[in-house]
Structure 1
Amino acid sequence: MKNFKLTIILLMLTTIVFAQKSPRKQVNGTIGHVSVDIDFGAPSVRERVIWGELVPYNQVWRAGANENTTISFDEEVTIKNKAIYAGKYGFFIIPKEDSDWTIILSSENDAWGSNSYNENEDVLRMNVTPQIVEENQEELNYSINNEGIEIAWEKVRLFIPIK
């Protein structure tokens, strides 16, 4: 009986010790002549219900896994007719079930997740319309093109136009 209990305990500890965090990813690109860097944890769908369950609706989400996502600009950009100065920003999203989603850039750029998110540190809030597509994006992905930033995960795509 002692050996059985010891085996169970060792199996449980092995699962905890070897559980993997979502991989950290960096995406770099340019918008016009501005260098843009995005650093994020890239979770996978893994047959889970993402929107409304893993990522609850109407709550601030860190736009990735583990440490919060950050976006850096090496020069000033314009988002939604607002000047965003060169610098590093925390990036958050508020997903909504039946309406536009809220995109947030925050001056708080070194938090763990969204637990310490403070609305008073918002630099920008804007609404974007999520696009629902047929193709499943298994791992969260960010891409940068000359028009802005695209976020793709599961069957949702978001686009943030940047000038």
Structure 2
Amino acid sequence: MKKLLIGGLSALCLFISNPMTGQEEDKVNYSKEELKFSKMDASPMDLALYRDKNDMAVARVIYSRPQKRNREIFGKLIPYGEIWRTGANEATELTLYQDMKVADATVKAGTYTLYTIPGEKEWTVILNNKTNTWGAYEYSAKEDKVRIKVPVRKAPNTIESLSMAFQESGKGADLLIGWDDSYVKVPFQSMK
């Protein structure tokens, strides 16, 4: 019992004589060599944001950007006629902050998964209700909210990384999706 009391008293004296703040503790316990961060993803995540004239967010797309790396993309890496997550890693996510028309379909504000079925001359663009999915493995046509077809366009130059951007048009914006030597435009129109 005497040893336990003396040992505990010694530890208390040591603690009182050398108090450390949280910052000092961080310096002591976490040196640069101990920090471990993951490497940059081969297909980094990015986003495209559409804002209206009042600078209010209208739509946002979050997607991963695979690289061309001298590969044949459409018809080879991304087969024609098959469902695609429209990016890499997690399936691409589209958030609408207000009700919108996508082509002729009315879509309520909310978050959807953006899938596509690439073809040589046209793509099928799909907004699906099931979100937070990896790839297209959990895709179910039963969850489709909207399916539209859009023509494939020839890009004026090679697009090295899958790229998405909103481009204003009329009462809304087109979502441009481009990679390699082609791109598509997905029309979004404000309901206001």
Q: TM-score, normalised by structure 2?
A: 0.71
Q: Which has the higher mean CA deviation after the structures are superposed, 77-86 or 33-42? A: 33-42
Aligned length: 146
Q: Which runs of 5+ in 1 are unaligned?
A: 1-16
Query: Match for 1:92: what amino acid?
Result: Y
| Cα deviation, residue 134, structure 1 | 3.9
- Paired position in structure 1 for 2:148: 126
- Paired position in structure 1 for 2:70: 47
CA distance in 2, matches of 1:112, 1:105: 15
Q: Which runs of 5+ in 2 are unaligned?
A: 1-37
Structure 1 residue ranges (4+ consecutive) displaced by more than 3 angstroms after TM superposition: 17-21, 31-34
Q: Does 1:29 align with 2:50?
A: yes
- Paired position in structure 2 for 1:137: 159
CA distance in 2, matches of 1:151, 1:126: 14
CA distance in 1, matches of 2:147, 2:52: 20
CA distance in 2, matches of 1:25, 1:49: 23
CA distance in 2, matches of 1:145, 1:152: 13
The structure whose Rg is larger is 2
CA distance in 1, matches of 2:109, 2:117: 24
CA distance in 2, matches of 1:123, 1:91: 10
Q: Answer yes or no: is the 8 Å Cα contact 1:21–1:66 preserved in 2.
A: no
Q: Secondary structure at the match of 1:162?
A: strand
Higher relative contact order, chain-length normalized (CA < 8 Å, sep 6+): 1
Q: Secondary structure at the match of 1:43?
A: coil
Query: Match for 1:119: what amino acid?
Result: A
Structure 1 residues 77 and 18: alpha-carbon distance in aligned structure 2, compared to 1, 3 A threshold:
closer
CA-based RMSD: 1.8
Q: How many percent of aligned residue pairs carry the same amino acid? A: 27
- Paired position in structure 2 for 1:14: none
Q: TM-score, normalised by structure 1?
A: 0.83
Structure 1 residues 31 and 52: alpha-carbon distance in aligned structure 2, compared to 1, 3 A threshold:
farther
Q: Secondary structure at the match of 1:120?
A: helix
CA distance in 1, matches of 2:63, 2:149: 21
Q: Deviations over 1:100-156 (max 9, x none)?
A: 210000001211000110000000000000001341000111101222211111111
